[in-house]
Amino acid sequence: MAPLRTELRQLPVPTVGADDGLLTVEACGLCGTDWDFYTRQRGAHLGPLILGHEIVGRVLAVGEGAARRWHIKTGDRIAVEEFLPCGQCELCKSGRPALCEATDSRSEKPFLRYGSTPVDVPPGLWGGFSEILYLHPRALVHHVPDDLSPDLATLFVPVSNGIRWVLKEGQLPRGGTAVIIGPGAHGLGCVVAAVEGGAKHVIAVSRSSGARLEAARALGAIPVAADRADVVATVREITNGEMADVIVDLAPGAPDTVETALALARKAATIILAASKRGKPVTGSLNDIVVRKELTVKGVRGRDYQSVEEALRLIASRRYPLERIRTHEFQLEQADQALRVQGERTDPSAIHVTVVP
């Protein structure tokens, strides 16, 4: 299918076996990966597919074996991760399913992954922009409380990413300082994780002021607009010269933010690289700074199962005004508009966009 084009199709609903199931999709969040596939910056060779991988819905049907394995029954509300890992390789056994070859959409080998598997792979229902989702036997599912609205529950992806990136990979110390560069949905998930983790200072950095920085403030962060302030000097002032323990770079396609992250890091700090620079080279004396400060630099992709469980509990606790993140909702026939609002930033107030079939 051509870039930037959607169409409604009817696909046959498969018969459920003993080890799989079907989900009635209630809401599906968008992220930058969906836009990359929609513009065909990724996956141009895959053909037509159903986008959407931040999926929440109710179990429509489930086989007896799958019900026992997932501890679910018909009618339960669940969240479904995008990963369909093999469960047998060393990466799966070590709790890193996002890196499993069996679910890596960048792999040259056959893969299965919600939101990026072509419709010509049976049974075709591989994405959240659909009324029904096929629950593969390898699906990673999580219970969602009935009193938690499905659109708010789709935030399980950015919040769980924040928990893993800031607290588990970043090892943010209680009373430490976290700087989040790029306060989109995932960046704001990192803000929530840092506040929840007991940070003394959580600083959100954006290129300019607007809805995202205002949301960061509401969630407990100090907002900094790079077009109005010297970011390094501001962080130095806020921290009395101590600088940051953890810096998360979430600015896609902007290699200059890596250099900013290095400048913000105190000695022995951790820098988390969570955004693709889309092939653009990172310049500067990066090696020397990493060596001189003894920095830890980590790349991250996705989350672990336990982080999703923690995220759903945190969302359900309502301790944070997460409604400030979830800003826009569209019907299934408005999927093109939803994608453009997210990807082209046609509405500057948009942060996290959901499609509701």
Please write the tens of the pLDDT for every residue from 258-270: 999 999 999 999 9
Is 315 part of a structural domain of the chain?
Answer: no
The 10 Å CB-count burial string (b at 16+, else e) for 195-211 is bbbebebbbbbbeeeeb
In a domain, 318, yes or no: no
pLDDT digits (tens, 9 = 90+) for 269-301: 999 999 988 888 888 778 999 999 999 999 999
Record the tokens describing residue 150, joined without a space: 């499905």
- Residue span of the structural domain in which 192 resides: 157-299
Output the six-digit token pair for 284: 């500067």
Q: How far, CA to CA in Å, does 159 sit from each of 135, 136, 225? A: 23, 24, 23
* Crossing angle of helices 256-264 and 286-293, rounded to 10°: 20
Question: Please, which pLDDT band fits residue 21 given cuts at 50, 70 and 90?
Answer: very high
* Residue 294, pLDDT score: 97
Q: What is the mean pLDDT of the chain?
A: 95
Is the pLDDT at 137 greater than 70? The verdict is yes
Under a CB-based contact definition with an 8 Å cutoff, are residues 201 and 221 in contact? no
Do 129 and 203 belong to one domain? Answer: no
Number of folded domains that form the chain = 2
Indicate whether 136 and 186 sit together in one domain. Answer: no
Q: Is there a single domain that holds both residue 293 and residue 186?
A: yes
Strand 352-356 versus strand 326-331 pairing type:
parallel
Is 5 part of any domain? no
Mean pLDDT of 338-349: 92
Single out the residue in 250, 284, 299 at which a domain terminates.
299
Q: Which of 156, 158, 142, 205 is closest to 178 using CA atoms?
A: 205
Tell me, yes or no, whether 147 and 32 share the same domain: yes
Q: Which of residues 193 and 286 earns the better pLDDT score?
A: 193
Please report whether residue 208 resides in a domain. yes
144 and 42 co-located in one domain: yes
According to DSSP, residue 221 is labeled P
The alpha carbon of 349 is separated from its chain's Cα centroid by a whole number of angstroms, namely 19
CATH of the domain at 31: 3.90.180.10
| Statement: residue 4 has pLDDT above 80 | yes
pLDDT at residue 200 tops 90: yes
The reply to whether 139 and 200 lie within a common domain is no
Q: How far apart are CA 115 and CA 52, in angstroms?
A: 5
189 and 220 together in one domain: yes
Residues 36 and 123 in one domain: yes
On whether residue 4 sits in a domain, the answer given is no
Percentage of residues of the chain with pLDDT beyond 70: 100
Those residues with Cβ within 8 angstroms of residue 134's Cβ, 6 or more apart along the chain or in another chain: 14, 20, 22, 23, 123, 124, 125, 126
Based on the fold, state whether residues 183 and 251 are members of the same structural domain: yes
Q: Are 164 and 151 in a shared domain?
A: no
Residue 207 belongs to domain with CATH number: 3.40.50.720
For the chain, where are the E strands, in sequence order? Answer: 21-29, 54-62, 77-80, 132-135, 141-143, 177-181, 201-206, 222-225, 244-249, 265-273, 296-299, 326-331, 352-356
Average pLDDT score over residue span 167-183: 98
Q: Are 262 and 290 in contact (CB under 8 A)?
A: yes
pLDDT greater than 70 at residue 1: no
Contacts of 241 (CB under 8 A, 6+ apart): none
Asked if residue 123 belongs to a domain, the reply is: yes
Q: Give 280's DSSP letter.
A: P
Q: Write down the residue that tokens 């009618």 correspond to.
A: 75
On whether residue 317 sits in a domain, the answer given is no
pLDDT digits (tens, 9 = 90+) for 216-229: 999 999 999 999 99
Q: What is the largest CA-CA distance in the chain?
A: 63
Confidence of residue 107 (pLDDT cuts 50, 70, 90): confident
If asked whether residues 31 and 146 sit together in one domain, one would say: yes
* For range 18-41, the mean pLDDT: 95
Whole-number pLDDT of residue 219: 98
Residues 294 and 230 in one domain: yes
Percent of the chain past pLDDT 90, that is, above it, reads 89
Average pLDDT of 19-30? 98
